[in-house]
Structure 1
Amino acid sequence: MTLYLIVCATGPAPGAGELVTLSQRAGWDVQVVATPLALDFLDLAAIEEQTGRPVRSRYRLPSEPKPPRPEAIIVAPASYNTINKFALGIADTYPLGLLAEAPGLGIPVVILPSVNPSLAGRVPYQASVARLRAEGVELLDPPPAGAFPWHTALEALSRRLP
């Protein structure tokens, strides 16, 4: 089964390999998809060696092979910007394009935000949370400062699968 891990450019992003490891231990074949800004946060060579796949951040060219469709998507760490754009259906990057169509395709999506309290308390963010949850997206509460709880995203996903 293929899991897409979408990584946004927030502080915890360099640790995304931890979620890759946890996901692989749980039997997932992981494809990492990074927002364009997140590319600078990741050790691309290490992630690609870990997954056996290139990190994707753009739409493929017609001459490039089509990647497998995911059975599930985790967005972690998810930025304020990505969460709000996803909720509004904005698909101006490859990762957002994947997210925009996932609910319509029945692909489970779990979001583990990396959003500070001042942003999480804003009306636009709260509206986005409500909108995404109404569409069946599992949007976890932002964790408190400290160690990023990667495992909680995978645990939430496992509760959503048959």
Structure 2
Amino acid sequence: MSKVVRKIGICADHGGFELKERIKTFLLDNQFEPVDFGAKELDAADDFPDYVIPLAKAVADGEVSRGIAICGSGVGACVAANKVSGVRAGLITDYFSAHQGVEDDDMNLICLGGRVTGYASAEELVLAFLNAKFIGAERHLRRLKKIQNLENNS
């Protein structure tokens, strides 16, 4: 049984560029279709919001099924992504959170630190994130509704 190909948005600034390029190949090897939101070349003067915000908007609009944003630490990417209504991004450093964030919180964008996350670890975290499914239990839906109400009333 083959996996259904899903479009996965990915982006990085200079701090995550090398890891992004590696993860794009990893996505292809695992039957995902990476959609690269930049940076397209290594530029030490670039700014993560220029790539993260378009990626986050594409995730929120359903243009890609999920997103991967990488900057030096992952923190800036996570802050920027969560400013876009409908995005639920998490800075992920461990396997449990990579899948649990999707299962319980319907996380749709993972943030990684290109300067602090090794290749093997990043691949494991990305696969756990992409293969996880939202459980949709009543308590999870109730909590998400509270977040959506905040987004709608801000």
TM-score tier (shorter): 0.3 to 0.5
Q: TM-score, normalised by structure 2?
A: 0.47
